[in-house]
Amino acid sequence: MKIAVPLFKERVSPHFGSSSKFLLLETSGVTVFQEAIQDVGGEGPAEIARCLVALGVQKLICGGIQNHHKDWLTRKGITVVDNQKGVAREVVHRLLKD
Amino acid sequence: MKRTTPQNQKDSGTRAQSDPMFCSITSALRSPCCTILESISDGVFTIDPNKRITSFNRAAQTITGFKAGEAIGQYCFDVFRANICEKKCALDETLTTGQSQVNLPALIISKTGDQIPISISTSILKNENGDIIGGVETFRDLSELERLKRQLARNYTHEDIVGRHPRMKKILSFLPDIAESESPVLIEGPTGSGKELIARAIHHLSPRKEGPFIAVNCAALPETLLESELFGYTKGAFTGAMRDKPGRFFLANGGTLFLDEISSTSRAFQADLLRVLEDGEFTPLGGTRTLKANFRVITATNLELKKLVDEGRFREDLYYRLNVVKVSLPSLRERREDIPLLAEHFIRKFNLLKDRSIQGVAPEALSFLISYPFPGNIRQLENIIEYAFITCKGDVIGMEHLPRDLVDERKDQISLLSENECEEAEKIRAILKQYPQNRPAAARALGMSRTTLWRKMKKYRIMDT
């Protein structure tokens, strides 16, 4: 599964759309077998959301995200796990275990 | 009045440590004066030098959606979630420079995913020795003010569309895609269901948002006037044409042309419109030079356009030209669960406009509104709330503040109508509007005799237009 987490330094960005820098991970079950930090491009939440769709992201883990961006991403087949906070990698590992 | 003594200073200090709501501000004021901070409508929170929240007042909880227990101890950016947190944090600036920030605009995302425009002010917090112990941020919710500004300027965005009904949520989630495409949009929905709001929201989400949004109500103008309005005319084209006048097609160049009530146009006009939409060219009345305009067309109708095509009253080729993307808005009756939300929305709007502070609708009145069929849809609900603002002098809108005729009408018979009957009544109203002063034509369009139409108008208490 391809997971994306917007970054604020090493933490989950609290405001989706403020940061185009993402932690991108390829996972299988609870195992992360590839990860990279990448600027996905775009400015603002709508453009960043489009970039994530173009990248083939399947799950977005983020802090705050506006409902209509969440609904749009969900309709594009991306699972959105919002209202997360903390160090990005720790949050991903915790959610993978859950 | 309680005097400040070393003992009660110590008490308030102890309380500040044990009760997070008694922050350093309230402790500094030497009294359990959280009531002050708790009673104001501005959000207030304080942070320590590590940006961990140390207090979070009631308004801050209401605006952000986070409870004090969820906020205190967390990093302020994880709770506040403003668009400026990551790049231009106001508290960072204040803690670094010691300078207060006043009325900075920002956007936050609440716990429930709503974007809220706010204005922020910040200041540093010092202890009794003058040492900096953190910062304080106050913020004001500007959503209603911003919404009102947009309403006054008619710059509606998708955020102005109120509704949690699944059909509305689906439409809203499609809007960005619809807006991004250049395709013509046909909006169908009963009168007062918000068709123009949707059209304006599409425009403001689209790449043409910097261009003009030109709205024309095709039913409001006689055919000849509609042609001259849309095509424009040259000086001398007809008696009274004293100078050249650009038409709406020309004015919409680079933007969006919204044609409301498109179903009321004649087949001759439809043919002219089709030609313009196909090649983007048109000639003003009386002119010889062909003009070109690049606009996106959005049309709206309160009748089912396909049915009109089947009846031969609307050109099939134009229908397919306009109906590339169709948005079908539900009537208010079909999304009754949105009525409390909409009532609340209009109360907030009129509170701001009329400088009032009405808190809400009493349960009995709300229950009445939820069961009312609303033939005039959202516009009718808005009018009812506006009327109630005149009759209600207190804080809560009750049954006695609703329009008398509405309540009586409901008591008399509407409550006895089934869903199908309500729909039929609405259809008759729409057709009668389509054929003003021509009941035989309306009866034909409805597929019933004149006598049946008369009987049904009487039954549903529909007045002729």
* Tens place of pLDDT per residue across chain B (465 aa): 333 344 444 444 444 444 444 455 555 445 555 677 777 889 999 999 899 999 999 999 999 999 999 999 999 999 999 999 988 899 988 988 888 989 999 999 999 999 999 999 999 988 878 888 889 999 999 988 888 877 777 777 777 888 888 899 889 888 888 998 889 999 999 989 999 999 999 998 898 989 999 999 998 888 888 988 898 888 776 777 777 788 899 999 999 999 999 999 999 899 999 999 988 888 888 878 888 889 999 999 999 899 899 988 899 999 999 999 999 999 998 898 899 999 999 998 898 888 888 999 998 899 889 888 888 999 999 999 999 999 999 999 999 999 988 887 766 555 556 777 777 887 888 888 777 778 888 888 888 888 898 888 887 777 765
With beta carbons less than 8 A apart as the criterion, state whether B338 and B329 touch: no
Are the beta carbons of A57 and A16 closer than 8 angstroms?
no
Of A14, A74, A86, the CB nearest to B85: A14
Q: What pLDDT is stored for residue A41 in this prediction?
A: 82
Distance CA B102, CA B426 (A): 52
Q: Coil, strand, or helix at residue B182?
A: coil
Q: How far is A82 from chain B (nearest CA, A)?
A: 9
The residues with which B35 forms a beta bridge, in sequence order, are none
Closest chain A C-alpha to B160 CA, distance in angstroms: 12
Q: What is the per-residue DSSP string for A19-61?
A: --EEEEEEEETTEEEEEEEEE---SSHHHHHHHHHHTT--EEE
Beta bridge partners of B206: none
Token look-up 């992201």 returns A57
Enumerate the residues of chain B whose CB falls inside 8 A of the CB of residue A14: 77-78, 80-81, 85-86
Distances (CA, A) of B89 to B134, B391, B421: 14, 46, 58
Q: Do B81 and A64 touch (CB under 8 A)?
A: yes
Distance from CA of A12 to the nearest CA of B (A): 9
The reported pTM is 0.68
The set of residues, in sequence order, having a beta carbon less than 8 Å from that of B221 and lying 6+ positions away, is: B229
B113 touches chain A (CB under 8 A): yes
Q: Where are the alpha helices (DSSP H) in B23-164?
A: 24-28, 34-39, 58-64, 68-71, 76-80, 90-97, 143-153
Token duo for residue B464: 């002729």
The CATH homologous superfamily to which domain B148-328 belongs is P-loop containing nucleotide triphosphate hydrolases (3.40.50.300)
Measured CA to CA, the distance from residue A49 to residue A43 in angstroms comes to 10
For B273, residues 6+ apart whose C-beta sits below 8 A from its C-beta are: B230, B259, B265, B318
Q: How many domains does chain A divide into?
A: 1
Strand pairing report for B115-126 and B132-141: antiparallel
Split at pLDDT 50, 70, 90, the class of A75 is confident
Q: Give the integer Cα–Cα distance in Å for B52 and B78.
A: 10
Which residues in chain A are contacts of B114 at CB distance < 8 A?
66-67
| Beta carbons of A68 and B173 less than 8 Å apart | yes
Domain extent at residue A77: 2-97
Chain B environment of A67 (Cβ under 8 Å): 112-114
Q: First and final CA of chain B: distance in angstroms?
A: 69
Q: Chain A within 8 Å of B50 (Cβ-Cβ)?
A: no
B320 Cβ under 8 Å from any chain A Cβ: no
C-alpha angle B242/B243/B247, rounded to 5°? Answer: 120
- The whole-angstrom distance between B371's CA and the closest CA on chain A is 29
Is the domain B6-141 a CATH 3.30.450.20 member?
yes
Q: Which residues contact A92 (CB under 8 A, 6 or more apart)?
A: A3, A5, A23, A25, A32, A61
The 10 Å CB-count burial string (b at 16+, else e) for B77-92 is bbbbbbbbbbeebbbb
Interface test with B, best of A12, A67, A69, A81 (most B CBs within 10 A): A67
Q: What gap in Å lies between CA B339 and CA B333, rounded to an integer? A: 9
- Taking residue A75's Cβ as centre, other Cβ atoms within 10 Å add up to 12
pLDDT in tens, A10-52: 999 999 999 989 999 999 988 998 999 999 887 889 889 989 9
The contacts of residue B334 (CB under 8 Å, 6+ apart) are B165, B167
Q: In the block, which residue shows the tokens 């933007």?
A: B255
**CB-CB contact of B445 with B311 (8 Å):** yes
Q: How many whole angstroms from its chain centre is CA B444? A: 37
d(CA B229, CA B265): 14
CATH level 3 topology of B332-416: Helicase, Ruva Protein; domain 3 (1.10.8)
Closest residue in A to B108 (Cα–Cα) = A15
- Report the length, in residues, of chain B: 465
Dist CA A69 CA A60 (whole Å): 12
Here the tokens at position B411 are 């008591």
Q: Which of A18, A74, A86 sits opposite B83 (nearest CB)?
A: A18
**Total length of chain A:** 98
Here the CATH number for the domain that contains residue A82 is 3.30.420.130
Long-range Cβ contact pairs of B153-156 (< 8 A, separation 24 or more) = B154/B200, B155/B200, B155/B204, B156/B197, B156/B200, B156/B201, B156/B204
Number of H helices, E strands in chain B: 22, 16
Which of A18, A50, A62 would best serve as a mutation to test chain B binding (most B beta carbons within 10 A)?
Answer: A18
Structure tokens at B338: 């949105």
Cα(A46)–Cα(B110) distance, rounded to whole angstroms? Answer: 18
Residue of A nearest to B205 (CA): A46
Mean pLDDT of chain A: 92
